[in-house]
Structure 1
Amino acid sequence: MAERPNDAVPETVPPADRRIAALRQVAQDKHEQAVQRAEAGIRRLVKEGMEINFRAVARAAGVSLDFLYAHTDLRKRIETLRGQQRTENQSPPQAPSADDGTVIHTLTEALRRERTTHRERVQELEQRLAAAHGEILRLQRVIQSHSPRP
């Protein structure tokens, strides 16, 4: 069993400091477990050939969207995998042919696909904006908790 930092704390350290060290260790362990769950969720989605996006990973891993957006490495990995899936799934655009009478149909389908792509991108940006707002609020609380009180 690995020795935890608070296990090595000498008895001369005040109990409050030992509790703080223990709480920090628990928080760090919880964070590491969430990262491991997120990585396992990503691997499972890839293995099963499922769509990779923030919501799918959050659901598969049992973590929040904010956690995924705030964790830089996970966010980059999800964005990369999602981009790879999009390029794999996109078929090369077909040039409309006037001879078979489907020009309007082809253009309509292309427009529909483009609209869907734009809607997904807007939704993603809205989610990222919400995560950024959440991070701003969290940082404001941290600043307030560290500022001297009158």
Structure 2
Amino acid sequence: MSRLPEHLRQAVRARTEAAEKRARVALATMAKAREPISFAAVARTAAVSTDFLYRHLELRTLIERHRKKSGAGIGARPDPQPSESSTSAAVRALSARLSQQQREHREEVARLRKALEVAQGENLALRRKLAEYE
């Protein structure tokens, strides 16, 4: 795998830093307003992915600390803890949905082929009958 050119590395770094800053601002704003804090809520407010928040150790720790302070962790469903090698939940959900749609389309194509075969057979029979009358 080739290394990225310096200008692309800088762009990636700037984008990551901007996302981190948005997440920190969102977390501070939510804490100040005493809104319930969760990974999904912070991600939604900051316009970042939950995967980004989970993978960023410092942000993850801050969010978990705020959740414990606000008592959101008590009785609430805990957010999943993905491992470094796991794919994001969104990718898994979309993959499952795509697989289901592919199955449905294959079944529909099979039904349509069968109906086409029947229609072609009927068409052939009608043409033969018509040829007899001519």
Q: TM-score, normalised by structure 1?
A: 0.51
Letter in 2 for 1:48: A
1:3 corresponding residue in structure 2: none
The offset of 1:134, in angstroms, is: 2.0
CA contact (8 A) 1:69 1:131 kept: no
Q: TM-score, normalised by structure 2?
A: 0.57
Pair member with larger Rg: 2
Other-structure match for 1:25 = 10
Letter in 1 for 2:77: E
CA RMSD of aligned residues (A): 2.6
Matching residue within 40, 43, 63 for 1:78:
63
Offset, 1:131: 6.9
Name the CA distance, whole Å, in 1 between partners of 2:83 and 2:43: 15
What one-letter code is carried by the residue in structure 2 that aligns with 1:120? Answer: R
Aligned to 1:129: 82
Superposed, 1:31-70 pairs within 5 Å as 31-70=16-55
Contact 1:41 1:60 in 2 (8 A): yes
Distance 1:34 1:85 in 2: 24
SS in 1 for 2:29: helix
Percent of pairs with identical residues: 31
Aligned equivalents of 2:14, 2:51: Cα separation in 1:
18
Gaps of 5+ in 2: 89-134
Return the offset for 1:129.
2.9
